[in-house]
Amino acid sequence: MDDYPLLNVFWTMLWFFLWIMWLFLLFKVITDIFRDHSLSGWGKAGWLIFCILLPYLGVLVYVIARGRSMGQRDIKQAKESEAAFQDYIRKTAGTQGGGTSPTDELARLAELKEKGAITPEEFEKAKAKVLS
């Protein structure tokens, strides 16, 4: 233990952490290259070769040149994933037997009650029927 002082351990851990962070950034850049639909095939090949042959410089230049659009693609993908998830939830929980969902039916009944189209007694009967 005397051969390797504590400060050197911290220094080594820092460099190891920075190397791992760079690997994450490299993989993020490579996935972004393939995810970008506005980039042509030759453009993707050029960026990929640049990032593989000169990895530190290639990643740095890519982040500087295309970092903003990289963030916009992340936001777009997150919104699309959220919309797909919400759509899946609506489809799964919403309809039963191809008709309207009980939640939609109750909302419609509450709206009719507020407008005065049905009485509170009619609302309670219809609600019991929907919930049964």
Q: What is the dihedral of CA 69, 75, 81, 85, to 10 degrees?
A: -170
Confidence of residue 116 (pLDDT cuts 50, 70, 90): confident
Q: Do 126 and 109 contact (CB within 8 A), yes or no?
A: yes
Q: How far apart are CA 39 and CA 47, in angstroms?
A: 10
CB contact set of 119 (below 8 Å; sequence gap of 6+): 113
Q: How far apart are CA 132 and CA 105, in angstroms?
A: 13
Distance (Å) of CA 92 to CA 76, 83, 98: 24, 14, 11
Write the DSSP assignment of 33-81 as a string of letters. HHH-SSS-HHHHHHHHHHHHHSHHHHHHHHHHHHHHHHHHHHHHHHHHH
pLDDT at 91: 80
- Give 17-39 pLDDT, tens digit per residue: 999 999 999 999 999 999 998 99
Q: Which amino acid is at 108?
A: R
| Residue 99 pLDDT exceeds 80 | no
| Residue 73 pLDDT exceeds 70 | yes
Among candidate residues 85, 88, 36, the one with its CA nearest the CA of residue 65: 36
| Residue 96 pLDDT exceeds 60 | no
